[in-house]
Structure 1
Protein backbone atom coordinates (compact mmCIF):
# COMPACT_ATOMS: atom_id res chain seq x y z
CA UNK A 1 0.00 0.00 0.00
CA UNK A 2 1.29 3.45 -0.91
CA UNK A 3 1.83 6.07 1.78
CA UNK A 4 -0.73 8.40 0.15
CA UNK A 5 -3.53 7.00 -2.02
CA UNK A 6 -6.10 8.89 -4.03
CA UNK A 7 -8.84 6.57 -5.25
CA UNK A 8 -11.22 7.81 -7.95
CA UNK A 9 -11.40 11.37 -6.63
CA UNK A 10 -14.16 13.55 -8.07
CA UNK A 11 -14.63 17.22 -7.27
CA UNK A 12 -17.32 19.57 -8.55
CA UNK A 13 -17.79 23.30 -8.20
CA UNK A 14 -21.41 23.59 -9.24
CA UNK A 15 -21.59 22.12 -12.74
CA UNK A 16 -17.80 22.40 -13.20
CA UNK A 17 -16.20 18.94 -12.95
CA UNK A 18 -12.75 19.92 -11.66
CA UNK A 19 -11.30 16.51 -10.73
CA UNK A 20 -12.39 13.59 -12.90
CA UNK A 21 -11.75 10.26 -11.21
CA UNK A 22 -8.18 10.94 -10.09
CA UNK A 23 -6.29 7.88 -8.84
CA UNK A 24 -2.72 8.42 -7.68
CA UNK A 25 -0.23 6.67 -5.35
CA UNK A 26 2.60 8.50 -3.57
CA UNK A 27 5.33 6.60 -1.76
CA UNK A 28 6.77 7.64 1.59
CA UNK A 29 9.67 10.08 1.32
CA UNK A 30 8.98 11.03 -2.30
CA UNK A 31 8.94 14.59 -3.62
CA UNK A 32 5.98 14.52 -5.98
CA UNK A 33 4.98 17.41 -8.22
CA UNK A 34 1.53 18.19 -9.60
CA UNK A 35 2.29 20.12 -12.77
CA UNK A 36 -0.04 21.80 -15.20
CA UNK A 37 -1.64 25.03 -16.45
CA UNK A 38 -4.03 27.17 -14.42
CA UNK A 39 -7.41 25.55 -13.89
CA UNK A 40 -6.29 21.96 -14.52
CA UNK A 41 -7.13 20.73 -10.99
CA UNK A 42 -3.68 20.39 -9.40
CA UNK A 43 -4.23 22.84 -6.50
CA UNK A 44 -7.73 21.45 -5.93
CA UNK A 45 -6.30 17.95 -5.41
CA UNK A 46 -3.76 19.38 -2.96
CA UNK A 47 -6.53 21.10 -1.00
CA UNK A 48 -8.54 17.88 -0.95
CA UNK A 49 -5.54 16.11 0.59
CA UNK A 50 -5.19 18.82 3.23
CA UNK A 51 -8.91 18.75 4.07
CA UNK A 52 -9.50 22.36 2.99
CA UNK A 53 -11.79 21.03 0.25
CA UNK A 54 -14.25 18.14 0.56
CA UNK A 55 -14.32 15.57 -2.23
CA UNK A 56 -17.57 14.68 -4.01
CA UNK A 57 -16.50 11.13 -4.67
CA UNK A 58 -13.66 8.73 -3.94
CA UNK A 59 -11.35 8.17 -0.98
CA UNK A 60 -8.02 9.49 0.30
CA UNK A 61 -5.72 7.33 2.42
CA UNK A 62 -2.68 8.47 4.39
CA UNK A 63 -0.38 5.88 5.92
CA UNK A 64 -3.12 3.26 5.65
CA UNK A 65 -5.82 5.44 7.25
CA UNK A 66 -8.90 6.74 5.45
CA UNK A 67 -8.72 10.52 5.98
CA UNK A 68 -11.39 11.46 3.43
CA UNK A 69 -13.73 12.94 6.06
CA UNK A 70 -11.17 14.01 8.67
CA UNK A 71 -10.87 17.64 9.73
CA UNK A 72 -7.72 19.43 8.51
CA UNK A 73 -6.38 19.78 12.06
CA UNK A 74 -6.52 16.01 12.54
CA UNK A 75 -4.54 15.06 9.40
CA UNK A 76 -1.04 16.11 10.58
CA UNK A 77 -0.29 17.75 7.25
CA UNK A 78 1.85 20.88 6.85
CA UNK A 79 1.19 23.47 4.16
CA UNK A 80 3.25 26.24 2.58
CA UNK A 81 1.37 28.65 0.31
CA UNK A 82 2.33 31.31 -2.22
CA UNK A 83 1.25 33.88 0.37
CA UNK A 84 3.56 33.67 3.39
CA UNK A 85 0.72 34.30 5.92
CA UNK A 86 3.13 35.16 8.74
CA UNK A 87 2.00 36.98 11.88
CA UNK A 88 3.34 40.52 11.36
CA UNK A 89 3.52 41.31 15.10
CA UNK A 90 5.62 38.21 15.86
CA UNK A 91 9.33 37.69 15.37
CA UNK A 92 10.77 34.93 13.22
CA UNK A 93 11.19 32.57 16.14
CA UNK A 94 7.73 33.40 17.51
CA UNK A 95 6.14 32.65 14.15
CA UNK A 96 7.92 29.30 13.96
CA UNK A 97 7.08 28.43 17.57
CA UNK A 98 3.38 29.31 17.29
CA UNK A 99 2.08 25.83 16.42
CA UNK A 100 4.29 24.15 19.01
CA UNK A 101 2.89 26.43 21.72
CA UNK A 102 -0.64 25.51 20.69
CA UNK A 103 0.34 21.87 21.29
CA UNK A 104 1.48 22.94 24.78
CA UNK A 105 4.99 21.58 24.41
CA UNK A 106 7.56 22.26 27.11
CA UNK A 107 9.32 25.62 26.53
CA UNK A 108 12.75 23.95 26.40
CA UNK A 109 11.54 21.53 23.73
CA UNK A 110 10.04 24.39 21.73
CA UNK A 111 13.26 26.37 21.91
CA UNK A 112 15.29 23.38 20.76
CA UNK A 113 12.98 22.60 17.84
CA UNK A 114 12.77 26.24 16.71
CA UNK A 115 16.54 26.60 16.83
CA UNK A 116 16.97 23.47 14.70
CA UNK A 117 14.37 24.68 12.17
CA UNK A 118 16.02 28.11 11.87
CA UNK A 119 19.36 26.46 11.26
CA UNK A 120 17.85 24.18 8.61
CA UNK A 121 16.37 27.07 6.61
CA UNK A 122 19.55 29.13 7.09
CA UNK A 123 18.02 32.06 8.96
CA UNK A 124 20.53 32.27 11.82
CA UNK A 125 20.75 35.87 13.03
CA UNK A 126 17.18 36.69 11.95
CA UNK A 127 15.47 35.17 15.00
CA UNK A 128 14.36 38.49 16.55
CA UNK A 129 13.35 40.23 13.32
CA UNK A 130 9.75 40.78 12.23
CA UNK A 131 8.41 39.72 8.79
CA UNK A 132 8.30 43.30 7.47
CA UNK A 133 12.10 43.53 7.73
CA UNK A 134 12.68 40.33 5.74
CA UNK A 135 12.88 39.75 1.99
CA UNK A 136 10.26 37.66 0.24
CA UNK A 137 12.60 34.69 0.10
CA UNK A 138 13.39 34.96 3.81
CA UNK A 139 9.69 35.16 4.65
CA UNK A 140 9.05 32.01 2.63
CA UNK A 141 11.84 30.29 4.56
CA UNK A 142 10.07 31.23 7.80
CA UNK A 143 6.82 29.78 6.44
CA UNK A 144 8.66 26.58 5.51
CA UNK A 145 10.29 26.35 8.95
CA UNK A 146 6.89 26.89 10.62
CA UNK A 147 5.56 23.85 8.77
CA UNK A 148 8.49 21.46 9.16
CA UNK A 149 8.91 22.21 12.88
CA UNK A 150 5.54 20.51 13.42
CA UNK A 151 6.97 17.26 12.01
CA UNK A 152 4.03 16.65 9.64
CA UNK A 153 3.37 13.34 7.96
CA UNK A 154 3.15 15.19 4.66
CA UNK A 155 4.33 18.61 3.49
CA UNK A 156 2.18 20.35 0.88
CA UNK A 157 3.63 23.24 -1.14
CA UNK A 158 1.17 25.21 -3.27
CA UNK A 159 3.22 27.31 -5.74
CA UNK A 160 5.33 28.68 -2.86
CA UNK A 161 7.99 30.24 -5.12
CA UNK A 162 5.88 31.91 -7.81
CA UNK A 163 6.04 35.37 -6.20
CA UNK A 164 9.84 35.31 -5.81
CA UNK A 165 12.36 36.63 -8.35
CA UNK A 166 14.03 34.13 -10.70
CA UNK A 167 17.52 34.03 -9.17
CA UNK A 168 16.30 33.57 -5.60
CA UNK A 169 13.69 31.06 -6.76
CA UNK A 170 16.44 28.76 -8.07
CA UNK A 171 18.25 28.97 -4.73
CA UNK A 172 15.06 28.15 -2.80
CA UNK A 173 14.32 25.22 -5.12
CA UNK A 174 17.62 23.65 -4.09
CA UNK A 175 17.04 24.46 -0.40
CA UNK A 176 13.53 22.99 -0.30
CA UNK A 177 14.66 19.82 -2.05
CA UNK A 178 17.61 19.43 0.34
CA UNK A 179 15.52 20.06 3.47
CA UNK A 180 12.75 17.63 2.52
CA UNK A 181 15.30 14.93 1.64
CA UNK A 182 17.26 15.47 4.87
CA UNK A 183 14.05 15.14 6.90
CA UNK A 184 12.67 12.25 4.84
CA UNK A 185 9.47 14.24 4.30
CA UNK A 186 6.82 13.07 1.89
CA UNK A 187 6.18 16.23 -0.11
CA UNK A 188 3.54 17.21 -2.67
CA UNK A 189 4.42 20.29 -4.70
CA UNK A 190 2.14 22.25 -7.04
CA UNK A 191 3.58 24.35 -9.86
CA UNK A 192 2.87 25.45 -13.42
CA UNK A 193 6.62 25.83 -14.12
CA UNK A 194 8.03 22.83 -16.00
CA UNK A 195 11.65 23.78 -15.23
CA UNK A 196 10.87 23.93 -11.51
CA UNK A 197 9.21 20.51 -11.69
CA UNK A 198 12.22 19.04 -13.50
CA UNK A 199 14.69 20.34 -10.90
CA UNK A 200 12.81 19.35 -7.76
CA UNK A 201 10.78 16.21 -8.41
CA UNK A 202 11.17 12.50 -7.89
CA UNK A 203 7.88 12.04 -9.74
CA UNK A 204 5.94 14.46 -11.97
CA UNK A 205 2.19 14.15 -12.49
CA UNK A 206 1.13 16.25 -15.46
CA UNK A 207 -2.47 17.46 -15.13
CA UNK A 208 -4.77 18.37 -17.99
CA UNK A 209 -8.46 19.22 -17.69
CA UNK A 210 -9.03 17.48 -14.36
CA UNK A 211 -7.13 14.31 -15.22
CA UNK A 212 -3.54 13.09 -14.96
CA UNK A 213 -2.18 13.13 -18.51
CA UNK A 214 1.17 11.52 -17.69
CA UNK A 215 3.13 10.36 -14.64
CA UNK A 216 6.78 9.44 -14.28
CA UNK A 217 10.24 10.53 -13.25
CA UNK A 218 11.38 13.87 -14.78
CA UNK A 219 13.61 12.30 -17.45
CA UNK A 220 10.88 9.95 -18.68
CA UNK A 221 8.19 12.64 -18.73
CA UNK A 222 10.54 14.99 -20.60
CA UNK A 223 11.89 12.53 -23.14
CA UNK A 224 8.80 10.38 -23.73
CA UNK A 225 5.63 12.50 -23.84
CA UNK A 226 2.51 10.37 -24.27
CA UNK A 227 0.31 12.96 -25.97
CA UNK A 228 0.27 16.18 -27.92
CA UNK A 229 -0.57 18.10 -24.74
CA UNK A 230 2.36 16.56 -22.83
CA UNK A 231 4.73 17.41 -25.67
CA UNK A 232 3.48 21.00 -25.84
CA UNK A 233 3.73 21.56 -22.07
CA UNK A 234 7.08 19.91 -21.37
CA UNK A 235 10.16 20.41 -23.50
CA UNK A 236 8.94 22.81 -26.21
CA UNK A 237 8.70 19.97 -28.69
CA UNK A 238 8.36 20.40 -32.43
CA UNK A 239 5.06 18.67 -33.21
CA UNK A 240 4.72 17.47 -36.78
CA UNK A 241 1.62 16.17 -38.53
CA UNK A 242 2.02 12.99 -40.61
CA UNK A 243 2.03 15.17 -43.73
CA UNK A 244 4.78 17.44 -42.41
CA UNK A 245 6.92 14.50 -41.27
CA UNK A 246 6.56 12.84 -44.67
CA UNK A 247 7.40 16.09 -46.48
CA UNK A 248 10.63 16.44 -44.48
CA UNK A 249 11.76 12.81 -44.32
CA UNK A 250 10.00 10.97 -47.12
CA UNK A 251 8.73 8.50 -44.50
CA UNK A 252 5.07 7.96 -43.69
CA UNK A 253 3.59 7.86 -40.18
CA UNK A 254 0.02 7.46 -38.95
CA UNK A 255 0.05 9.96 -36.09
CA UNK A 256 1.84 13.09 -34.93
CA UNK A 257 5.59 13.08 -34.27
CA UNK A 258 7.33 15.07 -31.52
CA UNK A 259 11.00 16.10 -31.77
CA UNK A 260 12.86 18.05 -29.08
CA UNK A 261 14.71 21.15 -30.40
CA UNK A 262 18.02 20.14 -28.81
CA UNK A 263 18.13 16.73 -30.54
CA UNK A 264 18.81 18.31 -33.96
CA UNK A 265 22.36 18.77 -35.21
CA UNK A 266 22.86 21.96 -37.21
CA UNK A 267 25.71 23.01 -39.50
CA UNK A 268 26.56 25.35 -42.36
CA UNK A 269 27.67 22.36 -44.45
CA UNK A 270 26.14 18.92 -45.08
CA UNK A 271 26.39 16.62 -42.06
CA UNK A 272 27.89 13.15 -42.21
CA UNK A 273 25.28 11.48 -40.03
CA UNK A 274 24.05 9.14 -42.77
CA UNK A 275 22.10 6.95 -40.35
CA UNK A 276 19.95 9.96 -39.38
CA UNK A 277 17.29 11.96 -41.18
CA UNK A 278 18.92 14.79 -43.17
CA UNK A 279 17.34 18.17 -43.98
CA UNK A 280 18.20 21.48 -45.58
CA UNK A 281 16.56 24.68 -44.41
CA UNK A 282 16.72 28.45 -44.15
CA UNK A 283 17.12 30.27 -40.82
CA UNK A 284 14.08 32.53 -40.34
CA UNK A 285 14.66 33.77 -36.79
CA UNK A 286 16.85 33.38 -33.71
CA UNK A 287 15.72 33.70 -30.11
CA UNK A 288 18.22 33.89 -27.19
CA UNK A 289 17.02 31.83 -24.19
CA UNK A 290 19.71 32.26 -21.54
CA UNK A 291 22.61 29.97 -22.40
CA UNK A 292 20.63 28.46 -25.29
CA UNK A 293 19.99 30.00 -28.70
CA UNK A 294 16.83 28.85 -30.47
CA UNK A 295 16.70 29.00 -34.26
CA UNK A 296 13.54 28.87 -36.30
CA UNK A 297 14.39 27.02 -39.51
CA UNK A 298 12.12 26.62 -42.52
CA UNK A 299 12.45 23.10 -43.90
CA UNK A 300 10.29 22.62 -47.02
CA UNK A 301 7.65 24.95 -45.61
CA UNK A 302 7.73 23.41 -42.11
CA UNK A 303 8.93 25.65 -39.25
CA UNK A 304 11.34 23.77 -36.99
CA UNK A 305 12.87 24.99 -33.72
CA UNK A 306 16.49 24.01 -33.14
CA UNK A 307 18.30 24.68 -29.84
CA UNK A 308 22.08 25.06 -29.55
CA UNK A 309 24.37 26.27 -26.77
CA UNK A 310 25.03 29.99 -27.10
CA UNK A 311 28.55 29.91 -28.59
CA UNK A 312 29.74 32.77 -30.72
CA UNK A 313 31.54 30.53 -33.25
CA UNK A 314 28.37 28.61 -34.26
CA UNK A 315 26.02 31.55 -34.77
CA UNK A 316 23.78 31.65 -37.82
CA UNK A 317 21.83 34.58 -39.19
CA UNK A 318 18.46 35.10 -40.82
CA UNK A 319 18.55 33.89 -44.41
CA UNK A 320 21.46 31.48 -43.86
CA UNK A 321 21.15 28.04 -45.43
CA UNK A 322 21.74 25.34 -42.81
CA UNK A 323 21.83 21.56 -42.68
CA UNK A 324 20.05 19.57 -40.00
CA UNK A 325 19.99 15.96 -38.91
CA UNK A 326 18.07 14.04 -36.26
CA UNK A 327 18.11 10.39 -35.19
CA UNK A 328 15.04 8.20 -35.63
CA UNK A 329 15.05 7.45 -31.86
CA UNK A 330 14.40 11.16 -31.19
CA UNK A 331 11.32 11.22 -33.45
CA UNK A 332 8.68 10.28 -30.86
CA UNK A 333 5.27 9.08 -32.06
CA UNK A 334 2.34 10.62 -30.15
Structure 2
Protein backbone atom coordinates (compact mmCIF):
# COMPACT_ATOMS: atom_id res chain seq x y z
CA UNK A 1 0.00 0.00 0.00
CA UNK A 2 1.16 3.52 -0.85
CA UNK A 3 -0.45 6.24 1.26
CA UNK A 4 -0.23 10.02 1.17
CA UNK A 5 -1.77 11.60 4.26
CA UNK A 6 -2.72 15.26 4.44
CA UNK A 7 0.09 16.44 2.16
CA UNK A 8 0.61 20.20 1.84
CA UNK A 9 3.09 21.81 -0.53
CA UNK A 10 3.64 25.43 -1.50
CA UNK A 11 5.85 27.12 -4.08
CA UNK A 12 5.20 30.46 -2.41
CA UNK A 13 2.21 32.02 -0.69
CA UNK A 14 -0.39 29.69 -2.21
CA UNK A 15 -0.58 25.92 -1.82
CA UNK A 16 -0.04 23.66 -4.85
CA UNK A 17 -1.28 20.69 -2.79
CA UNK A 18 -3.81 21.20 -0.02
CA UNK A 19 -4.36 18.37 2.41
CA UNK A 20 -3.84 15.82 -0.35
CA UNK A 21 -4.78 12.33 0.83
CA UNK A 22 -4.65 9.14 -1.25
CA UNK A 23 -4.09 5.41 -0.82
CA UNK A 24 -3.35 3.08 -3.74
CA UNK A 25 -2.44 -0.58 -3.91
CA UNK A 26 1.03 -1.63 -4.98
CA UNK A 27 0.97 -2.85 -8.55
CA UNK A 28 -1.81 -0.47 -9.54
CA UNK A 29 -1.78 1.69 -12.68
CA UNK A 30 -3.09 5.15 -11.82
CA UNK A 31 -3.96 7.98 -14.20
CA UNK A 32 -3.61 11.53 -12.90
CA UNK A 33 -5.88 13.93 -14.74
CA UNK A 34 -7.10 17.50 -14.33
CA UNK A 35 -6.50 20.98 -15.66
CA UNK A 36 -3.08 22.60 -15.88
CA UNK A 37 -2.11 23.86 -12.44
CA UNK A 38 -4.21 21.30 -10.58
CA UNK A 39 -1.11 19.82 -8.90
CA UNK A 40 -0.36 16.71 -10.97
CA UNK A 41 3.32 17.41 -11.63
CA UNK A 42 3.84 18.62 -8.08
CA UNK A 43 2.42 15.36 -6.76
CA UNK A 44 4.72 13.28 -8.98
CA UNK A 45 7.79 15.25 -7.91
CA UNK A 46 6.88 14.83 -4.24
CA UNK A 47 6.48 11.08 -4.72
CA UNK A 48 9.87 11.02 -6.44
CA UNK A 49 11.48 12.74 -3.46
CA UNK A 50 12.33 15.79 -5.57
CA UNK A 51 10.21 18.27 -3.61
CA UNK A 52 10.00 18.44 0.20
CA UNK A 53 6.49 18.46 1.63
CA UNK A 54 5.59 21.23 4.05
CA UNK A 55 3.44 18.90 6.14
CA UNK A 56 1.90 15.46 5.92
CA UNK A 57 3.20 11.91 5.65
CA UNK A 58 3.96 9.40 2.91
CA UNK A 59 3.72 5.77 3.99
CA UNK A 60 4.85 2.81 1.90
CA UNK A 61 4.24 -0.74 3.12
CA UNK A 62 3.34 0.59 6.56
CA UNK A 63 6.56 2.59 6.97
CA UNK A 64 7.00 6.35 6.83
CA UNK A 65 9.06 7.14 3.73
CA UNK A 66 11.80 9.78 3.80
CA UNK A 67 12.86 11.73 0.71
CA UNK A 68 15.84 9.35 0.45
CA UNK A 69 13.49 6.35 0.56
CA UNK A 70 11.34 7.87 -2.19
CA UNK A 71 14.33 8.53 -4.43
CA UNK A 72 15.28 4.86 -4.09
CA UNK A 73 11.80 3.42 -4.52
CA UNK A 74 10.48 5.78 -7.21
CA UNK A 75 11.67 6.99 -10.59
CA UNK A 76 10.46 10.07 -12.42
CA UNK A 77 10.10 10.07 -16.21
CA UNK A 78 10.04 13.50 -17.86
CA UNK A 79 7.76 14.28 -20.80
CA UNK A 80 10.90 14.89 -22.90
CA UNK A 81 12.91 11.65 -22.79
CA UNK A 82 15.99 13.21 -24.39
CA UNK A 83 16.55 15.24 -21.22
CA UNK A 84 17.20 11.99 -19.31
CA UNK A 85 19.51 10.26 -21.78
CA UNK A 86 23.23 10.42 -21.01
CA UNK A 87 24.94 7.72 -23.09
CA UNK A 88 26.31 8.07 -26.60
CA UNK A 89 24.75 4.72 -27.54
CA UNK A 90 21.69 2.85 -26.28
CA UNK A 91 23.93 0.29 -24.58
CA UNK A 92 25.97 2.99 -22.86
CA UNK A 93 22.84 4.66 -21.57
CA UNK A 94 21.59 1.39 -20.11
CA UNK A 95 24.99 0.82 -18.49
CA UNK A 96 25.31 4.27 -16.92
CA UNK A 97 23.19 3.75 -13.80
CA UNK A 98 24.53 0.25 -13.25
CA UNK A 99 28.11 1.49 -13.39
CA UNK A 100 27.27 4.11 -10.77
CA UNK A 101 26.00 1.28 -8.55
CA UNK A 102 29.39 -0.38 -8.81
CA UNK A 103 28.23 -3.61 -10.43
CA UNK A 104 30.75 -5.95 -12.00
CA UNK A 105 31.08 -5.70 -15.79
CA UNK A 106 29.59 -9.19 -16.20
CA UNK A 107 26.52 -8.22 -14.19
CA UNK A 108 26.16 -5.00 -16.12
CA UNK A 109 26.21 -6.82 -19.44
CA UNK A 110 23.69 -9.40 -18.23
CA UNK A 111 21.35 -6.64 -17.12
CA UNK A 112 21.75 -4.79 -20.40
CA UNK A 113 20.88 -7.91 -22.38
CA UNK A 114 17.79 -8.43 -20.25
CA UNK A 115 16.61 -4.84 -20.76
CA UNK A 116 17.28 -4.88 -24.51
CA UNK A 117 15.16 -7.98 -24.91
CA UNK A 118 12.42 -6.99 -22.48
CA UNK A 119 11.89 -3.55 -23.97
CA UNK A 120 12.52 -4.59 -27.59
CA UNK A 121 15.56 -2.37 -28.06
CA UNK A 122 18.03 -4.96 -29.40
CA UNK A 123 17.95 -3.62 -32.94
CA UNK A 124 19.07 -0.16 -31.79
CA UNK A 125 21.60 -1.22 -29.15
CA UNK A 126 24.49 0.52 -30.97
CA UNK A 127 22.47 3.53 -32.12
CA UNK A 128 22.95 7.12 -31.02
CA UNK A 129 19.98 7.55 -28.63
CA UNK A 130 19.58 11.20 -29.60
CA UNK A 131 18.45 10.24 -33.10
CA UNK A 132 15.86 7.72 -31.91
CA UNK A 133 12.16 8.35 -32.35
CA UNK A 134 10.38 9.81 -29.33
CA UNK A 135 8.75 6.47 -28.54
CA UNK A 136 12.01 4.53 -28.62
CA UNK A 137 13.67 7.22 -26.51
CA UNK A 138 10.89 6.90 -23.92
CA UNK A 139 11.39 3.14 -23.88
CA UNK A 140 15.13 3.61 -23.40
CA UNK A 141 14.61 5.93 -20.42
CA UNK A 142 12.13 3.50 -18.86
CA UNK A 143 14.48 0.55 -19.49
CA UNK A 144 17.43 2.41 -17.96
CA UNK A 145 15.39 3.26 -14.87
CA UNK A 146 14.00 -0.28 -14.65
CA UNK A 147 17.55 -1.60 -14.26
CA UNK A 148 17.89 0.45 -11.06
CA UNK A 149 15.04 -1.66 -9.59
CA UNK A 150 12.53 1.01 -8.52
CA UNK A 151 9.09 -0.11 -7.40
CA UNK A 152 7.15 2.95 -8.52
CA UNK A 153 7.24 4.63 -11.95
CA UNK A 154 6.06 8.23 -12.26
CA UNK A 155 5.45 9.51 -15.79
CA UNK A 156 4.69 13.17 -16.47
CA UNK A 157 2.78 13.76 -19.74
CA UNK A 158 4.71 10.97 -21.50
CA UNK A 159 2.76 11.18 -24.78
CA UNK A 160 3.10 14.94 -25.31
CA UNK A 161 5.98 14.55 -27.81
CA UNK A 162 4.92 11.26 -29.43
CA UNK A 163 3.20 10.32 -32.66
CA UNK A 164 0.94 7.26 -32.92
CA UNK A 165 3.89 4.92 -33.39
CA UNK A 166 5.66 6.45 -30.41
CA UNK A 167 2.57 6.00 -28.26
CA UNK A 168 2.52 2.29 -29.11
CA UNK A 169 6.21 2.02 -28.19
CA UNK A 170 5.46 3.64 -24.83
CA UNK A 171 2.46 1.41 -24.16
CA UNK A 172 4.56 -1.67 -24.86
CA UNK A 173 7.05 -0.59 -22.20
CA UNK A 174 4.28 0.13 -19.70
CA UNK A 175 2.72 -3.29 -20.31
CA UNK A 176 6.04 -4.86 -19.35
CA UNK A 177 6.17 -2.84 -16.14
CA UNK A 178 2.58 -3.68 -15.26
CA UNK A 179 3.19 -7.40 -15.80
CA UNK A 180 6.15 -7.13 -13.43
CA UNK A 181 3.87 -5.71 -10.73
CA UNK A 182 5.31 -2.21 -10.72
CA UNK A 183 3.16 0.62 -9.41
CA UNK A 184 2.61 3.25 -12.10
CA UNK A 185 1.36 6.84 -12.02
CA UNK A 186 0.82 8.65 -15.33
CA UNK A 187 -0.06 12.33 -15.47
CA UNK A 188 -1.89 12.94 -18.74
CA UNK A 189 -4.32 15.10 -20.68
CA UNK A 190 -5.06 12.08 -22.90
CA UNK A 191 -6.30 9.42 -20.47
CA UNK A 192 -8.08 7.35 -23.11
CA UNK A 193 -4.68 6.28 -24.46
CA UNK A 194 -4.09 4.38 -21.20
CA UNK A 195 -7.57 3.01 -20.49
CA UNK A 196 -6.50 -0.47 -21.59
CA UNK A 197 -3.86 -0.55 -18.83
CA UNK A 198 -5.17 1.69 -16.06
CA UNK A 199 -6.77 0.36 -12.89
CA UNK A 200 -7.87 3.75 -11.52
CA UNK A 201 -8.24 7.42 -12.38
CA UNK A 202 -7.43 10.29 -10.02
CA UNK A 203 -8.92 13.65 -10.94
CA UNK A 204 -7.22 16.63 -9.34
CA UNK A 205 -8.53 20.14 -8.97
CA UNK A 206 -6.83 23.05 -7.18
CA UNK A 207 -4.38 20.82 -5.32
CA UNK A 208 -6.86 18.25 -4.06
CA UNK A 209 -8.61 15.10 -5.26
CA UNK A 210 -12.22 15.39 -6.34
CA UNK A 211 -12.47 11.90 -7.87
CA UNK A 212 -10.71 8.58 -7.35
CA UNK A 213 -12.17 5.45 -8.88
CA UNK A 214 -12.48 3.17 -11.87
CA UNK A 215 -12.57 4.15 -15.52
CA UNK A 216 -16.30 3.54 -15.96
CA UNK A 217 -17.17 5.77 -13.00
CA UNK A 218 -14.75 8.41 -14.23
CA UNK A 219 -16.34 8.52 -17.69
CA UNK A 220 -19.78 8.88 -16.15
CA UNK A 221 -18.64 12.03 -14.34
CA UNK A 222 -17.83 13.81 -17.65
CA UNK A 223 -15.20 16.20 -16.29
CA UNK A 224 -15.05 19.24 -18.56
CA UNK A 225 -11.29 19.70 -18.19
CA UNK A 226 -10.45 16.19 -19.45
CA UNK A 227 -10.74 15.06 -23.06
CA UNK A 228 -11.97 11.48 -23.37
TM-score (norm 1): 0.64
Aligned residues: 227
Deviation at 1:89, TM superposition (A): 5.0
SS of alignment partner, residue 93 of structure 2: helix
Q: Specify whether residues 13 and 234 from structure 1 end up closer, same or farther in structure 2 by C-alpha distance, changes over 3 A only.
A: closer
Alignment of structure 1 residues 107-118 onto 2, 5 Å? 107-118=105-116
Q: Deviations over 1:144-189 (max 9, x none)?
A: 1111111112111111221112x12441353133111221111111
Runs of at least 4 residues of structure 1 off by over 6 A? none
Instruction: Give the aligned partner of residue 55 of structure 1.
Output: 53
Tell me if 1:28 matches 2:18: no
Q: How far apart, in 1, do the equivalents of 2:68 and 2:167 lie?
A: 35
Please state which structure has a larger fraction of its residues in strand: 1
Alignment of structure 1 residues 1-334 onto 2, 5 Å? 2=1, 4-70=2-68, 73=71, 75-84=72-81, 85-87=83-85, 89-165=87-163, 167-223=164-220, 225=221, 230-234=222-226
Q: Deviations over 1:126-158 (max 9, x none)?
A: 111112331121111111111111111211111
Q: Name which structure has the greater RCO, CA cutoff 8 Å, separation 6+.
A: 2
TM-score (norm 2): 0.91
Contact kept in structure 2, 1:173 and 1:196, CA below 8 Å: no
Q: How far apart, in 1, do the equivalents of 2:121 and 2:176 lie?
A: 13
Q: Runs of 5+ in structure 2 lacking a partner?
A: none
Q: Specify whether residues 27 and 72 from structure 1 end up closer, same or farther in structure 2 by C-alpha distance, changes over 3 A only.
A: closer
Cα RMSD between the aligned structures? 1.9
Q: Specify whether residues 67 and 234 from structure 1 end up closer, same or farther in structure 2 by C-alpha distance, changes over 3 A only.
A: same
Deviation at 1:72, TM superposition (A): 5.5
